């Protein structure tokens, strides 16, 4: 076998191996966990209420807010106000944080993000 052909075979094997490894690593959003489907009106109501009352946290280094992600312990979570839990019953069991001007609904048991509400998406 020639050197060029050997290098080509190695390159193809390397690319194929990288593809298999990438396929085995789930995307952050693909992780099974709590998810909340909200109407645009519900999203707006939640965002307006929480953004007016919650302290905005900076995201810790290396943390990116996304559904399925785990909120670090450095971010404090608070229960949703009773009025919001009444208006939007499906969020009653969740806690909330304001991170980088995003309202983040979180499962308090696992600290997994169930929904992210961004002002620019309203």
Burial class for 117, CB neighbours closer than 10 Å (0-12, 13-18, 19+): buried
Average pLDDT over residues 20-36: 51
Higher pLDDT, 41 or 7: 41
pLDDT at 100: 96
Q: Judge whether residue 11 has pLDDT over 90.
A: no
CA-wise closest residue to 76 among 102, 106, 50: 106
Helix H or strand E segment including 116: strand 113-118
Q: How far apart are CA 17 and CA 23, in angstroms?
A: 10
Local confidence band at 32 (pLDDT 50, 70, 90 cut-offs): low
Going from the N-terminus, what domains does the chain have, and what CATH number goes with each? 29-121 (3.10.450)
Residues 6+ apart with CB under 8 A from 72: 60, 63
DSSP string, 6-33: HHHHHHHHHHHHHHHHHHHS--GGGS--
Local confidence band at 1 (pLDDT 50, 70, 90 cut-offs): low
Average pLDDT over residues 76-88: 95
Q: How far apart are CA 75 and CA 12, in angstroms?
A: 44
Local confidence band at 28 (pLDDT 50, 70, 90 cut-offs): very low
Local confidence band at 34 (pLDDT 50, 70, 90 cut-offs): confident
């Amino acid at each position: 076998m020639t050197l060029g052909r050997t290098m080509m075979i190695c390159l193809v094997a390397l690319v194929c191996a990288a593809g298999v490894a990438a396929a085995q690593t789930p995307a952050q959003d693909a992780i099974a966990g709590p998810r909340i489907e909200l109407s645009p009106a519900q999203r707006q109501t939640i965002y307006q209420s929480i953004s007016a009352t919650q302290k905005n946290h900076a995201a810790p280094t290396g943390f990116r807010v996304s559904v399925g992600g785990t909120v670090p312990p450095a971010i404090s979570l608070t229960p949703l106000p009773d009025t919001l839990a009444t208006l939007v019953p499906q969020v009653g069991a969740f806690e909330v944080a304001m991170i980088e001007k995003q309202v983040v609904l979180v499962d308090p048991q696992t600290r997994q993000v169930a929904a992210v509400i961004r002002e620019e998406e309203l």
